[in-house]
Amino acid sequence: MTSYTEALARIEREIGAPLEPGSRAEADALGRFRTFFGTFAPDKVERMLDATYAERVWFDDTLKTIEGRAALGRYLHESASAVEACRVEIDDEVANGRGDYYLRWRMMIRFKRFARGRDTWSIGMSHLRFDADGRVLLQQDYWNAAAGLYQYVPLLGAGIRAIQRRL
């Protein structure tokens, strides 16, 4: 499996010129990403995956590292099917002018199996790079999986909460 550093180097070699800062292409790419995760659902994964993610995408959400759009589609569809509701609210985005985009977000998840009927919130950031067609070529997420997911898993959650109380 390719590491984040290796993926960055590969993409830098392959990508060519980044999206033009302030361009319509840049706005469209960021808009597609916002829409894709705005309300995260299995049917949206099916409808929007090809337009949002490049064929050779490298993706890491801190839970799993995936290479390739087909594998990512299966993972995202499975993830979206496992929740009653999920949405991502992007609070801030910064571009460095060299093709890197950093988005700060809040994610609400209502699980089907854990903490039933309860909206759970976590915060995070995503590092994105787009291809020339405005599709995500690299996505590295940084988020608090302990607060957003693990603490709601029955045995694991109790252990995490006990550790947090002792710190």
Model confidence pLDDT, tens digit, residues 47-87: 999 999 999 999 999 889 999 999 999 999 999 998 999 99
Confidence at residue 119, expressed as pLDDT on a 0 to 100 scale: 87
Q: Which two tokens stand for residue 127?
A: 């590092």
Task: For each of the domains in the chain, give its residue range(s) and CATH number, in order of start.
Answer: 4-166 (3.10.450.50)
Share of the chain above pLDDT 90, in %: 68
* Contact (CB, 8 A) for 82 and 112: yes
| Residue 163 reports pLDDT greater than 80 | no
Q: Which two tokens stand for residue 120?
A: 């759970």
CA distance 122 to 155: 20
What are the C-alpha distances in Å from 37 to residues 21, 30, 53, 56? Answer: 22, 11, 12, 20
Please tell me the distance from the alpha carbon of residue 139 to that of residue 100, in angstroms, as a whole number: 10
Query: What is the model's pLDDT at position 17?
Result: 84
Using CA atoms of 115, 119, 123, 125 in order, give the dihedral in degrees to the nearest 10.
100
Mean pLDDT of the chain: 88
pLDDT score recorded for residue 14: 84
What's the pLDDT at 120?
86
Spatial CA neighbour of 102 closest among 114, 88, 91:
91
Mean local confidence (pLDDT), 88-101:
95
Structure token digits, residue 94: 């910064």
CB neighbourhood size of 85 (10 A): 14
Q: What is the pLDDT of residue 77?
A: 97
Provide mean pLDDT across the span 14-43. 94
What does the pLDDT read at residue 150? Answer: 47
Kindly tell me if the per-residue pLDDT of 157 is higher than 60. no
Q: Is the separation of the CB atoms in 108 and 115 below 8 Å?
A: no
CA pair distance 137, 54, nearest whole angstrom: 5
pTM beyond 0.75: the answer is: yes
Phi, psi for 57 (deg, rounded to 5): -60, 145
The helix (run of H) or strand (run of E) holding residue 155 is helix 154-166
